[in-house]
């Protein structure tokens, strides 16, 4: 078919409502279809391939056999396609030119925006607003479902404690309580409780499991953790995603207990399929199945197929061990056909559930870009950007008063503010900080702009130009930090400093005696000691997406009061890593009056900025604090007042601490919070409840239980700034 014919057919795609079927109806359909399928065709459903030359996130791929494989029913799905004509062509091949006409499904990595670009996930996490993130996810789903795909490889649910790892930018941070809230928000935002809808996409929770704890923060490195740490910290977000109905889970590249996740029966069957009663399907990460050879747990692809199928892997991404070897393994009696039937059944059930048998072209639109980046979506992108920014320091310089500013740095006019994993977002749709200020004030602001330095290089003349522009201005605004591709997959860094040329310019500008506002662009926590010493204010701007410049202009001039709170600690220095708030006490906790204690001799134990930290342009006071306990749990009640002249939001947090337990427990565990917006001078009575069951922890028998004993309950501004705490007791 030529393009014209395809276009004509695509114009005729009908989008009739797709009936929602019961579990029984779905199972009947699948049972009937599978009874007609050959073993080879059932195995074909277990393979996800990609398009020509794709090197999305791993070895490049030769798609020359795709058409033949489709015609033989040997492909179940594709990843990485956006061109809807290609998607239409491939789907037509599957539906009209195979023996049983089983449709393909299509998946992509759309994790913080399709064409509308929201802040990356670690930035959005700092909003402490799951409802807002769910709204953003609904937009991501709408744009994705109108770009031909049925599933997004999101949410990424890795707990992260090491900013050397480039992928912290796509996580929500170091805390499982936050992780659970966000897992639900993303899954509900994507799936919207109706997989037959033309506006939803299916979610795929990843990476199962423990990828965020790669040793040394080095990408794809070894992971080694206890089962208790796995269950207590890394599992809860996945449990929340599965409870929310997430349709798929993706394995991780790393080992757990020296067995690659992708071939790890304990993880995939014992923990996930049986332990969580997970009825969706498990997909490998990009070639992670064949990589178990490199992990040295398989000698060849035939053994890969055997081990991964036995472990419970249902769908193999890009590697082709399954379609090459499973049929032989079954015929040799090495792999039971029941395992193939279970995996094939999960894939067919998914396809039927989302309506692909009713309408294989449900998400294929000829003019798909017309559905993207609407004005409403931009407005939401700005709201999310505003709420993602974290004010780290402000010595009476923000909000800015003067309209005669020097704007200096490699990110001042940069539109590269999407961050990694940007989907189909485009730099040209992004607002730079310079343009954001111009949009806001037009000619009402004098901006003495200078590049100053590039990310890593400097030119003497431009460097001097920056010094001169600062001299002519009332205040200096620096737009510095990482280039957006310095974080993301395969972007681990052993050094997390702000690039040296940028710090050199900061220090030289400091000598001028002008007030300096440092606007930090970064995908990860960095070592900010030099920035802290030489700046009067620090705004953590992450990478905020389309509306970056407009949001930052509002924040710089006080039209929005920053309310972001960190969900990942900023280490004092890279040598302090891993540093996270919910750490154990040790047997010799730090005591300044005792030499033989757990400490460094050259730096403090505490991070530079801790979990839950963030400043505001206003001051919030807490009064009438009361703790009460009943059989259901503990409630903290208090009055919060905005004592300043700016409206704004604070995020009172409630932590618990077990005084003793059958195993050592963290010194702090976040168990509740509220984001409270108050007008200047306004007060509100707030209560935050922590249910008794939330005090549970995996005990010495590896059972999640609340043990008798004494617990501290703490009302706090952040994990280090405790306002008031009380002791409570649980008796059996
Ligand atoms: C990558 C990533 C994973 C992504 C997949 C498909 O290597 O680890 O997050 O979904 O491949 O692109």
Reference 77, options 369, 338, 281; nearest CA is: 281
What the block records as the tokens of 703 is: 């059972």
- CATH 3.40.50.1700 location in the chain: 382-576
Reference 517, options 528, 498, 532, 501; nearest CA is: 532
The residue whose CA has the least distance to atom 10 of ligand 1 is 153
Does residue 57 register a pLDDT over 80?
no
Determine how many CB atoms are found less than 10 A away from the CB of residue 386. Answer: 23
Tell the burial category of 708 from Cβ atoms under 10 Å away from its Cβ (0-12, 13-18, 19+).
exposed
CB neighbour list of residue 533: distance below 8 Å, 6 or more residues apart: none
Tell the burial category of 631 from Cβ atoms under 10 Å away from its Cβ (0-12, 13-18, 19+).
exposed
What CATH number does domain 620-730 carry, 2.170.140.10, 3.40.50.970, 2.60.40.10, 3.40.50.2300? 2.60.40.10
- The angle at the Cα of 612, spanning 608 to 614, to the nearest 5 degrees, equals 70
Report strand pairing: 316-317 vs 255-256: unpaired
CA–centroid distance, 65 to ligand 1, in Å, is 22
Q: What was the pLDDT predicted at 56?
A: 63
Q: What was the pLDDT predicted at 82?
A: 84
Helix (H) or strand (E) holding 125: helix 121-125
Q: What was the pLDDT predicted at 61?
A: 67
Does residue 627 register a pLDDT over 90?
yes
- CATH 3.20.20.300 location in the chain: 1-104+282-353
CATH of domain 382-576: 3.40.50.1700
Q: What was the pLDDT predicted at 60?
A: 65
CB neighbour list of residue 71: distance below 8 Å, 6 or more residues apart: 93, 97, 98
Q: What was the pLDDT predicted at 65?
A: 87
First to last CA, the chain: 72
- CA 704, 707, 713, 716 dihedral sign is negative
Q: What was the pLDDT predicted at 54?
A: 61
Q: Which atom of ligand 1 is nearest to the CA of 58?
A: 7
Ligand 1 proximal residues by C-beta, below 6 Å:
56-58, 79, 109, 153, 206, 285-286, 489
Tell me which of 60, 203, 285, 288 to substitute to probe ligand 1's pocket, judged by most ligand atoms within 8 Å of the beta carbon: 285
CA–centroid distance, 548 to ligand 1, in Å, is 26
Q: Give the model confidence (pLDDT) of 584-614 as tens digits.
A: 999 999 999 999 999 999 999 999 999 999 9
CA 647 – CA 684 distance, rounded (Å): 13
DSSP tag of 57? S
Does residue 53 register a pLDDT over 70?
no
Tell me which of 106, 166, 248, 286 to substitute to probe ligand 1's pocket, judged by most ligand atoms within 8 Å of the beta carbon: 286
Q: How far lies 601's CA from each of 574, 585, 598, in Å?
A: 15, 18, 10
The residue whose CA has the least distance to atom 3 of ligand 1 is 285
Which CATH class, in words, describes the domain spanning 1-104+282-353?
A: alpha beta
Reference 411, options 438, 427, 432, 426; nearest CA is: 432
pTM score above 0.85: yes
* Helix-, strand-, coil-residue percentages of the chain, each rounded to 5: 35, 20, 45
Q: What was the pLDDT predicted at 1?
A: 83
CA–centroid distance, 57 to ligand 1, in Å, is 6
- CATH 2.60.40.10 location in the chain: 620-730
Tell the burial category of 60 from Cβ atoms under 10 Å away from its Cβ (0-12, 13-18, 19+).
exposed
Q: What was the pLDDT predicted at 731?
A: 87
Reference 30, options 373, 352, 451; nearest CA is: 352
Q: How far lies 179's CA from each of 122, 158, 201, 251, 486, in Å?
A: 11, 8, 21, 18, 24
Average pLDDT over residues 126-138: 98
Q: Give the model confidence (pLDDT) of 660-701 as tens digits.
A: 999 999 999 999 999 999 999 999 999 999 999 999 999 999
Does residue 10 register a pLDDT over 90?
yes
Site of tokens 């662009």: 521
Q: How far lies 728's CA from each of 216, 426, 581, 658, in Å?
A: 39, 53, 22, 10
Q: What was the pLDDT predicted at 83?
A: 86
CA 588 – CA 396 distance, rounded (Å): 39
Q: Give 154's pLDDT tier (boundaries 50, 70, 90).
A: very high
CA–centroid distance, 253 to ligand 1, in Å, is 10
Return the active site residues.
285
CB neighbour list of residue 559: distance below 8 Å, 6 or more residues apart: none
Average pLDDT, the chain: 97
CA–centroid distance, 20 to ligand 1, in Å, is 30
Determine how many CB atoms are found less than 10 A away from the CB of residue 62. Answer: 9
| DSSP string covering 350-369 | HHHHTTTTT-TTTT--TTGG
Percentage with pLDDT > 90 across the chain: 96
Average pLDDT over residues 165-186: 98
Q: What was the pLDDT predicted at 542?
A: 98
Average pLDDT over residues 236-242: 98
């Amino acid at each position: 078919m030529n393009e014209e014919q395809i276009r004509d057919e695509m114009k005729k795609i009908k989008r009739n409502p797709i009936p929602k079927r019961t579990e029984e109806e779905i199972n009947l359909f699948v049972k009937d279809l599978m009874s007609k399928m050959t073993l080879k065709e059932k195995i074909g459903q277990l393979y996800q391939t990609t398009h020509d030359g794709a090197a999305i996130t791993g070895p490049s791929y030769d798609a020359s056999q795709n058409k033949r494989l489709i015609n033989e029913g040997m492909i179940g799905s594709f990843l990485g396609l956006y061109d809807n004509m290609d998607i239409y062509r491939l789907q037509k091949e599957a539906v009209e030119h195979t023996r049983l006409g089983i449709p393909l499904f299509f998946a992509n990595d759309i994790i913080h925006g399709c064409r509308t670009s929201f802040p990356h996930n670690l930035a959005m996490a700092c909003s402490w607003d799951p409802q807002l993130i769910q709204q953003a996810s609904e937009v991501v789903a709408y744009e994705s479902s109108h770009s031909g795909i049925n599933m997004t490889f999101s949410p990424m649910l890795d707990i992260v404690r090491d900013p050397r790892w480039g992928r912290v930018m796509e996580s929500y941070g170091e805390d499982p309580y936050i992780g659970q809230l966000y897992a639900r928000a993303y899954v509900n935002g994507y799936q919207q409780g109706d997989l037959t809808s033309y506006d939803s996409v299916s979610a795929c929770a990843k990476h199962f499991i423990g990828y965020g704890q790669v040793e040394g923060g080095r990408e794809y490195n070894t992971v080694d953790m206890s089962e208790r740490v796995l269950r207590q910290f890394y599992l809860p977000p996945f449990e929340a995603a599965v409870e929310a109905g997430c349709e798929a889970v993706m394995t991780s590249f790393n080992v757990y207990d020296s067995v690659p996740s992708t071939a790890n029966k304990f993880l995939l069957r014992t923990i996930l399929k049986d332990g969580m009663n997970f009825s969706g399907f498990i997909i490998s990460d990009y070639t992670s199945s064949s990589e178990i050879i490199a992990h040295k747990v398989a000698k060849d692809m035939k053994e890969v197929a055997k081990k991964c199928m036995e472990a419970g892997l249902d769908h193999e991404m890009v590697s082709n061990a399954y379609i090459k070897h499973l049929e032989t393994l079954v015929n040799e009696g090495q792999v039971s056909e029941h395992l193939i039937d279970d995996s094939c059944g999960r894939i067919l059930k998914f396809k039927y559930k989302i309506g692909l048998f009713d309408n294989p072209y449900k998400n294929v639109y000829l003019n798909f870009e017309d559905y993207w980046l609407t004005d409403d979506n931009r407005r939401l992108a700005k709201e999310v950007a505003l709420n993602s920014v974290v004010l780290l320091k402000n010595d009476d310089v923000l909000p800015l008063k003067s309209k005669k500013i020097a704007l200096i740095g490699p990110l001042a006019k940069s539109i590269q503010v999407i961050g990694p994993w940007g989907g189909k977002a485009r730099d040209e749709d992004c607002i730079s900080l310079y343009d954001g200020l111009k949009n806001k004030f037009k000619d009402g602001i004098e901006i003495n702009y200078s590049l100053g330095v590039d990310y890593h290089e400097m030119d003497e003349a431009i460097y001097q130009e920056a010094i001169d522009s600062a001299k002519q201005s009332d205040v200096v605004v620096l737009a510095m930090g990482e280039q957006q591709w310095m974080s993301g997959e395969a972007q681990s860094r052993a050094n997390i400093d702000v690039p040296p040329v940028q710090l050199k310019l900061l220090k030289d500008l400091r000598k001028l005696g002008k007030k300096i506002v440092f606007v930090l662009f970064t995908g990860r926590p960095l070592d900010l000691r030099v920035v802290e010493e030489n700046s009067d204010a620090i705004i953590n701007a992450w990478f905020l997406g389309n509306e970056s410049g407009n949001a930052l202009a509002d924040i710089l001039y006080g039209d929005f009061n920053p309310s972001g709170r960190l969900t990942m600690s900023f280490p004092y220095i890279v040598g302090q890593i891993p540093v996270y708030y919910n750490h154990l006490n040790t047997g010799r906790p730090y005591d300044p009056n005792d030499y033989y204690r757990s400490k460094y001799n050259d730096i403090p134990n505490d991070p530079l900025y801790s979990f839950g930290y963030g400043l505001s342009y206003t001051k919030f006071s807490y009064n009438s604090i009361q703790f009460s306990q009943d059989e259901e749990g503990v409630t903290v009640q208090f009055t919060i007042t905005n004592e300043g002249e700016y409206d704004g939001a604070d995020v009172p947090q409630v932590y618990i601490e077990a005084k003793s337990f059958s195993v050592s427990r963290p010194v702090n565990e976040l168990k509740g919070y509220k984001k409270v917006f108050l007008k200047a001078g306004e007060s509100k009575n707030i209560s935050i409840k922590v249910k008794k069951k939330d005090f549970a922890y995996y005990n010495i028998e590896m059972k999640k239980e609340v043990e008798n004993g004494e617990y501290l309950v703490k009302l706090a501004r952040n994990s280090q700034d405790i306002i008031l705490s009380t002791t409570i007791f649980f008796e059996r």
